[in-house]
Amino acid sequence: MQDNRIKPILFSTDMVRAIREGRKTVTRRDPFQTPPDYDVLKGHYRDSRGRLCAVFQCRKDPTTEAVYARYDRGDILWVREAWGMASDLLGGIPGPVYRADYTDDELRTLREKHYRWSPSIHMPKEAARLFLRVTGVQVGRLSDMVLGDILLEGVQEADSFEETWSRWHQTWNSTIKPADRAIYGWEAHPWVWIVQFERCWKPEGWPK
């Protein structure tokens, strides 16, 4: 596979757990606003270079604007997650360890011992253990989600419908900088790219 079809993607500890348990098979990414008045989704297209985009039409005239997708069907995504080195954590044992593998009680104990995990953005390729193949990409409004969509995002279903929705709202907003929530937060209901994926094997020739 070409290197430009292998791309990094960040997930929180809870979402890594959901992927490993098979509960999460969809992620909504890259919230965006369309240019003024260009809010009528005309469809999904590919340009002359084969790049996937969503095309929006102006309400006032027939002009259009394209928004390009970061991911495309067939891409392999290597997951960046919170991690550390076993030698730092356990003493003398080489290799990476992952925050998602520890229970909340274990993580609390590690915090008390002042152990600090490296953030996902700093995880190198050599430490990656999760790989995802993109099976579908489309654009949609965040507000168009239904309960089934939330469950495919890996959110644990609660005892009530309202609590499940609340969990998703909190999960989404936790991915948005506070200063940007008025534009891209749950209440703003932005356009988002909806990326479907499945687990796959490590790409051939991946660094060890």
CA distance to 53, 116, 178, 195, per residue, from 95 (Å)? 40, 16, 35, 31
Same domain (yes/no): 138, 88: no
User: Same domain, yes or no, for 147 and 191?
Assistant: yes
pTM, entire model: 0.93
What are the tokens at 165? Answer: 């929705």
Per the listing, tokens 């960046």 go with 80
pLDDT by residue for the chain (208 residues), tens only, comes to 677 799 999 999 999 999 999 999 999 999 999 988 998 999 999 999 999 999 999 998 999 999 999 999 999 999 999 999 887 666 656 789 999 999 999 999 988 888 889 999 999 999 999 999 999 999 999 999 999 999 999 999 999 999 999 999 999 999 999 999 999 999 999 999 999 999 999 999 898 7
Give the pLDDT of residue 92. 58
- Domain of residue 73, CATH code: 2.30.130.30
Does 37 fall in a domain?
yes
Strands (E), 142-205: 191-199
8: which strand partners?
78
Whether 101 is covered by a domain: the verdict is yes
Do 19 and 87 belong together in one domain?
Answer: no
Q: Give the pLDDT of residue 88.
A: 64
| Secondary structure (DSSP) of 153-166 | BTPPP-SSHHHHHH
Which one of 118, 137, 170 terminates a domain? 118
Whether residue 207 lies inside any domain: the answer is no
Ramachandran assignment for 94, one of left (phi > 0), alpha (psi -120 to 50 degrees), beta (any other): beta
Q: Is 205 within a domain?
A: no
Structure tokens at 29: 């990414």
Q: Are residues 184 and 97 in the same domain?
A: no
Last residue within a domain, chosen from 68, 95, 118: 118
Same domain, 21 and 53: yes
The C-alpha atoms of residue 69 and residue 194 are separated, in whole angstroms, by 10
Number of domains observed in the structure of the chain: 2
208 in a domain, yes or no? no
Q: Are residues 55 and 27 in the same domain?
A: yes
How far apart CA 191 and CA 184 sit, in angstroms, is 9
Do 59 and 92 lie in one domain? The reply is no
Question: In the listed set 101, 118, 135, which residue is the last one of a domain according to the structure?
Answer: 118
Residue 21 lies in a domain: yes
Q: Which amino acid is at 112?
A: E
Whether 139 and 69 map to the same domain: the answer is yes
What range defines the domain where residue 132 resides? 3-80+127-199
Q: Are residues 58 and 144 in the same domain?
A: yes
Q: How much is the pLDDT for 90? A: 62
Q: Are residues 76 and 102 in the same domain?
A: no
**Strand intervals (E) in 19-92:** 26-32, 40-46, 52-57, 64-68, 76-80, 83-85
| 94 plus 44 within the same structural domain | no
Task: Examine the domain organization and report whether 167 and 194 are in the same domain.
Answer: yes
33 found inside a domain: yes
Residue 68 lies in a domain: yes
